[in-house]
Amino acid sequence: MDGKILLVDDEKDIADLIEEVLRQDGFRQIERAYTGRDALRVCRAFQPDAVLLDIMLPDMDGLEVCRQIRTFSYCSILFVSSKNDDIDKILGLSCGGDDYIVKPFSPREVAFRVKAQLRRQQYQTGARPGQAALTVGSLSLDRDGGRAFKAGQELALTGREFLLLSYLMENAGKIISKERLYEQVWGEYSSVCDNTIMVHIRHLREKIEDIPSRPQLLTTVKGLGYRLRKEGT
Looking at residue 189, its pLDDT comes to: 45
Q: What burial letters (b/e) apply to 36-64, b meaning 16+ CB within 10 Å?
A: bebbbebbeebebbbbbbbbebeeeebbe
Q: Model confidence over 81-106: pLDDT tens digits?
A: 888 777 888 888 888 888 888 888 88
3-state secondary structure of 222: coil
Looking at residue 232, its pLDDT comes to: 47
Q: Where are the domains of the chain?
A: 4-124, 127-228
Looking at residue 194, its pLDDT comes to: 58
User: Do 134 and 20 meet the contact criterion of CB atoms below 8 Å apart?
Assistant: no
Q: What share of the chain has pLDDT > 70, as a percent?
A: 85
Residue 218: strand pairing partners: 228
Q: Is the pLDDT of residue 233 over 70?
A: no
**pTM for this model (two decimals):** 0.61
Residue 33: strand pairing partners: 8
User: Do 175 and 229 meet the contact criterion of CB atoms below 8 Å apart?
Assistant: no
Q: Model confidence over 126-170: pLDDT tens digits?
A: 544 445 578 888 899 887 667 889 888 888 887 778 888 988 998
206 torsion bin: left (phi>0), alpha (psi -120 to 50), beta (else): alpha
Please report which confidence band the pLDDT of residue 124 belongs to, taking 50, 70 and 90 as the band edges.
low
> Domain 4-124 carries which CATH code?
3.40.50.2300
Top CATH class, 127-228: mainly alpha
160 vs 77: CA distance, rounded Å: 10
